[in-house]
Structure 1
Amino acid sequence: MAVTDEAILKIKEMIRAGELGPGDRLPPEKELSEALGLSRSSLREAVKALEIIRVLDVRRGDGTYVTSLTPDTLLDAMSFVVDIHQDSSLLELFEVRRILEPAAVALATARVTPPDVDELRGLLSALGDRPTVDELVAHDQVFHRRIAEFAGNSYLTSLLETLSSSTLRARIWRGLSQEGSTQRSLTEHRLIIDALARGDATLAAAQATVHIDGVAEWLQRATA
């Protein structure tokens, strides 16, 4: 188990045992790290991760507090973080997506119409320049589903929809934790659309591969 995951689990046990509750302030870093048997750097990484998903509220110059979420919600959110970092099967799902997504994009290139391309551009422009992670992930699901539908193979569409749903939490966590990932995803979607519009199946498939690889590479580092 990664040391950061161990730190998160130990904080989770404190919440489960009632030692920490909504609104409570965490003990000072030195005291907490010694109590949990962890290095201060590992504890800082855990706190950073839990701050991102709004389990903890770090108030500069004041301290770190458990947010006002209910205990059950707090525990579910913390399980989410550990599961993402430990679930190696997600990498296998992304390997399958890496095979199927470019194939779907290549098929779609031969069958897509100008109105279809306009629809994809409309989906992208509707997001604006600074979408939230939730908005981006919702867009991502629709974007990839429509391309699969343009490919004209219902079995392929169904497979990709299942894979997309199964990797949803990993994509949300990447958006929350990796700086610049939102803008990178938007740029990659734009490049896929441009390749579709040009009718260049090879380029479109290559852009789709780069797009999937970005998430897979991040996940590989996260689970290392």
Structure 2
Amino acid sequence: MSLTDKAIEQIRELIRTGALPPGSKLPPEAELAAQLGLSRNLAREAVKALAVARVLEVKRGDGTYVGSLQASVLLESVSGAVELLQGDSAALLDLMEVRRLLEPVATALAALRISDEQLALVKQHLDAMREAQDDVERLNAHDAAFHRAVVAATGNESLLALLEGVSGRTLRARVWRGLVDTRAAGRTLTEHEAIYEALACRDAALSQAAALLHVTSTERWLRRHLESGDSAAHAPAASGRSTVGTA
């Protein structure tokens, strides 16, 4: 570990042990450095790194505070990392595998917990996807919203943040572009409809099966087109914050 890494770990340990609970203010830089046995420069670099990771929040003119430490905030960095992996075929397939492990189970949980209002929101995005037809940008946006609404219905913020992290906007756009170009978008829409119908029945097993079929189908499509060097799978797409759902 570098000296900066060790300094970061020391501050993280103060947070883990409760010496610096969420919302608390850090001591002034000189005092913090002396408390940890660090130089002021190392303490400053450690604070900067933890602020970038959203663990700490620097308020100009006021000081530095420990953040909320909510999973949805701390896991945001996963989304940024995923966007940087978009040119790595092996990494993309690894991410799809992670999604296949998590999303079907999340969908089953959603079937048990989803409210009528949440189900109506899922249907709203499904209807918008049907209307979008060949408009990749709209399909992309409502596909993301569809899956986010499903996972949000679990009430599990950590699960939502993880799935948002592994399903990059750029990758999702590539997949939709390829599906539209190969006239396979209709099949994918049918898979979304099956997920919705299972949720509407509040059938956890059926919801899990429908989501697994959908994610596996998308994963197979992506694998086939990445391995063949298909331009649709590798084409650049609009960048942006990652959101749940890849077709």
**TM-score, normalised on structure 2?**
0.53
Task: Say if 2:123 is the partner of 1:121.
Answer: yes
Q: Secondary structure at the match of 1:187?
A: helix
Q: What amino acid is aligned across from residue 137 of structure 2 in structure 1?
A: D
Task: Say if 2:139 is the partner of 1:136.
Answer: yes
Q: What 5-or-longer segments of structure 2 have no aligned partner?
A: 1-85, 228-247
Aligned-residue sequence identity (percent) comes to: 37
Match of 1:95 in 2: 97
Alpha-carbon shift at residue 129 of structure 1 (Å): 5.6
Match of 1:172 in 2: 173
Alpha-carbon shift at residue 220 of structure 1 (Å): 1.2
User: In the aligned structure 1, how far is the partner of 2:132 from the partner of 2:161?
Assistant: 30
8 Å contact from structure 1 (residues 175, 181) kept in 2: no
Q: What 5-or-longer segments of structure 1 have no aligned partner?
A: 1-82
Alpha-carbon shift at residue 152 of structure 1 (Å): 1.0
| Matched residue count | 140
Task: Say if 2:195 is the partner of 1:187.
Answer: no
User: In the aligned structure 1, how far is the partner of 2:113 from the partner of 2:223?
Assistant: 34
8 Å contact from structure 1 (residues 171, 215) kept in 2: no
**TM-score, normalised on structure 1?**
0.58
* Equivalence map 1:41-80=2 (5 Å): none
User: In the aligned structure 2, how far is the partner of 1:170 from the partner of 1:222?
Assistant: 13
Q: Secondary structure at the match of 1:90?
A: helix
Q: What amino acid is aligned across from residue 213 of structure 1 in structure 2?
A: T
Alpha-carbon shift at residue 174 of structure 1 (Å): 2.5
Task: Say if 2:148 is the partner of 1:145.
Answer: yes
What whole-Å deviation, never above 9, does each CA across 1:100-127 have from its counterpart, x for those lacking one?
A: 1011101101101222212211112133
8 Å contact from structure 1 (residues 88, 223) kept in 2: no
Q: What amino acid is aligned across from residue 125 of structure 2 in structure 1?
A: L
User: In the aligned structure 2, how far is the partner of 1:213 from the partner of 1:99?
Assistant: 10
8 Å contact from structure 1 (residues 170, 219) kept in 2: no
User: In the aligned structure 2, how far is the partner of 1:174 from the partner of 1:122?
Assistant: 22
Structure 1 residues 140 and 129: alpha-carbon distance in aligned structure 2, compared to 1, 3 A threshold? closer
8 Å contact from structure 1 (residues 105, 147) kept in 2: yes
User: In the aligned structure 2, how far is the partner of 1:189 from the partner of 1:160?
Assistant: 17
What whole-Å deviation, never above 9, does each CA across 1:169-220 have from its counterpart, x for those lacking one?
A: 3332232234123222221111101000111111101111111112210121
Match of 1:158 among 161, 170, 182: 161
